[in-house]
Amino acid sequence: MIVNKLQKVISESLKSLYNIEAEPDSITIQTTKKEFEGDYTLVVFPYVKQARKSPEMVANEIGNAVKLPEISGFNVIKGFLNFSVSDSYWLRFVEERVGDTSYGMTTPDPTASPVVIEYSSPNTNKPLHLGHIRNNLLGWSVSQLLAANGTNVKKVNLVNDRGIHICKSMLAWLRYGNGETPESSGMKGDHLVGKYYVEFDKHYKAEIQQLMADGKDEETAKKEAPLMVEAQSMLKRWEDGDKEIRDLWEKMNSWVYAGFDETYARLGVGFDKIYYESNTYRLGKELVQKGLDMGVLFRKEDGSVWCDLTADGLDQKLLLRRDGTSVYMTQDLGTALLRHNEFGAEQLVYVVGNEQDYHFTVLKLVLGKLGFDWADKVYHLSYGMVELPNGKMKSREGTVVDADDLITEMERTAEEMSLEHGKNDELTAEQQKHLYHILALGALKYFILKVDPTKNMLFNPAESIDFNGNTGPFIQYTHARIRSIVRKGEAEGIDLGKPVTLKSALSDKEKNIIKNLYDLPSTVRQAAQNYSPAMIANYAYELAKNFNSFYQDTPIMREPDSDLKTFRVQLCSMVANTLRNTMNILGIEVPERM
């Protein structure tokens, strides 16, 4: 890579000119800003003090000292040394990469220790909603991103299928359901169970209000409300293996799983393995007992078990309730050990919202105190919340944007927008339906994934599906346009894999596209290091935007010079391949025709 060569020769120049020791990797080379002439820029200010010369003088001296055949010249603007790369270097890059459909993507070694990525992690008391969509899309995309960087990845899901929240839905169904089933109601199973989670909350709140009217304070009323007391009793019976409760639990969970599978299929996400909390919490209990035996955990008088983290700047953390039932931390301890042993994992990544930052800080600390030297391999990929124009969503109150409803609405909008823009005139009815689906998911996924994972985001469906601007459909349409050009070129007999010799210099817009393509491997590498699909999304947008600028001003199929025409069609093909591969990292399909 030209940047590595520049770093090396600049390092040598700093030593010879000013006796400054600077390792090549420590020298920052930036892409030259668009308003300046050049391709790569060295900021010389960090070396001015030691060199004891003005920034302009230092820049000029280093520029004159850099002797590389790839560099055609340089210019200096104050303390900025801008290098220009020769056309021959860019043309050689195209010659070497033309026809390489997987350029920039590294194939993982399936025998290497994997990175295990957990995402989705739904509760079986409600359907997936918009918040789950960001989680699933981020988890899937990060998995694709790491794999594109050569990492062996295992995608896993931990279904939270037990606990007090599950018992709430079960109890409400027993009380108010009258035997209703997905078949009798016509509802998806996860929607039906979610209906009774909301029903529980409605009646529970009424009981709290009644107890407070009778003189109880709010905290006491919440604990003593009959529905909550019965739900806690149901959880205890479940953990004790009560057949009646277990049978009901299995029946209602089966409804939910069928609903989840349907939603996952529509979203285009999947997993290498699914874990169930009901199978892992016991292992967590065994670890709690181990901690008690080691003396790193302690039991309070009421029988509950805790870990004292005050010396670590935190508080005391509950690991087992006084009735012996588990909490989330219990099962996460067990699941972490299970995955580490099962996969020999290089790293355990948890894609979970930033409201759980404290939870994962505690998880790493407790694992460390239990003697596991791999505790530092636990990584919490903390992401911001998805908000709507009218505020946050609350599952128990039923004020959520349902995932299934959102996808359906996006497909409807995609159809309206496509008809309005006349982008499906030559497609069959089946092809049109598929197009609406991939445009809808492209809009949804891109809008969510283009935002840095650490940031909260406001979701606006109307903005997401615009065919102009920084959107998925804009990039999808650009890919379809390019593929149309490439098909025409192939029909004329143009060989996409045969290098050609140009008689003319590269235009600025051709060079911009080539530089975009050249940056792909480093972009994938940097994005993987930062667990940031947003970097890939914005790379794809810049490439699509630069291509459209090139397309507007540059003849391709009408170019009279046959070699130049071939070169431009080959360049189009490289852009199409790159858009397809980068959008695939985001889980987005790009159409061949629109």
**592: in domain:** no
**111: in domain:** no
Q: Residue 26: its pLDDT value, please?
A: 94
**479: in domain:** yes
Inter-residue contact 479 to 569 (CB < 8 Å): no
The last residue of a domain, from among 59, 85, 111:
85
**558: in domain:** yes
- What 503-506 contacts at long range (C-beta under 8 Å, 24+ apart), as own/partner pairs, is 503/561, 503/563, 503/564, 504/561, 504/564, 505/87, 506/87, 506/90, 506/91
**277: in domain:** no
Q: Residue 398: its pLDDT value, please?
A: 46
The one-letter code for the residue type at 393 is M
Q: Are residues 443 and 577 in the same domain?
A: yes
Q: Are residues 78 and 184 in the same domain?
A: no
- Measured CA to CA, the distance from residue 12 to residue 108 in angstroms comes to 35
- Measured CA to CA, the distance from residue 136 to residue 128 in angstroms comes to 10
Q: Are residues 80 and 171 in the same domain?
A: no
Q: Residue 400: its pLDDT value, please?
A: 67
**What is the four-CA torsion angle of 122, 124, 129, 135, rounded to 10 degrees?**
0
CA 522-524-526 angle, 5° bins: 65
Measured CA distances, 547 to 16, 132, 225, 510, 513 (Å):
42, 34, 63, 9, 7
Number of structural domains, the chain? 3
Q: Are residues 263 and 165 in the same domain?
A: yes
Q: Residue 390: its pLDDT value, please?
A: 58
**213: in domain:** yes
- Measured CA to CA, the distance from residue 391 to residue 167 in angstroms comes to 28
Q: Residue 110: its pLDDT value, please?
A: 93
Inter-residue contact 517 to 97 (CB < 8 Å): yes
pLDDT tens digits, residue range 567-576?
Answer: 999 999 999 9
Q: Residue 340: its pLDDT value, please?
A: 94
The last residue of a domain, from among 211, 246, 269:
269
For the chain, the maximum distance between any two Cα atoms, rounded to a whole number of angstroms, is 92
Give mean pLDDT in consecutive 10-residue pieces for the chain, a chain of 594 residues: 94 95 94 92 95 95 95 94 95 91 95 96 91 95 98 96 93 96 96 95 96 95 96 93 96 97 96 92 91 96 96 95 87 92 94 95 96 95 82 48 88 86 76 92 95 90 82 95 96 90 90 96 96 98 97 95 95 97 98 89
Q: Are residues 472 and 555 in the same domain?
A: yes
Q: What is the pTM of this model?
A: 0.90
Radius of gyration of the chain (CA): 29
Q: Are residues 69 and 171 in the same domain?
A: no
Q: Read off φ and ψ for residue 126, nearest 5 degrees.
A: -170, 160
Domain of residue 496, CATH code: 1.10.730.10
**303: in domain:** no
Supply the range of the domain harboring residue 407.
403-585
- Measured CA to CA, the distance from residue 397 to residue 108 in angstroms comes to 44
- Check residue 177 and report its DSSP letter: -
The last residue of a domain, from among 222, 241, 269:
269
**249: in domain:** yes
**Helix-helix angle 87-97:562-585, to 10 degrees:** 70
Q: Are residues 528 and 440 in the same domain?
A: yes
Please give the helix or strand (H or E) that residue 85 lies within, else none: strand 80-85
**71-77: strand order across its sheet:** 29-31, 40-43, 80-85, 71-77
Please give the helix or strand (H or E) that residue 316 lies within, else none: strand 316-320
Residues in a beta bridge with 158: 275
Residues in a beta bridge with 129: 402
CB atoms within 10 A of CB 414: 23
DSSP-assigned letters across all residues of 369-413: HTT-TTGGGEEEEEEPPEEBTTB--BTTTTB--BHHHHHHHHHHH
The one-letter code for the residue type at 432 is Q
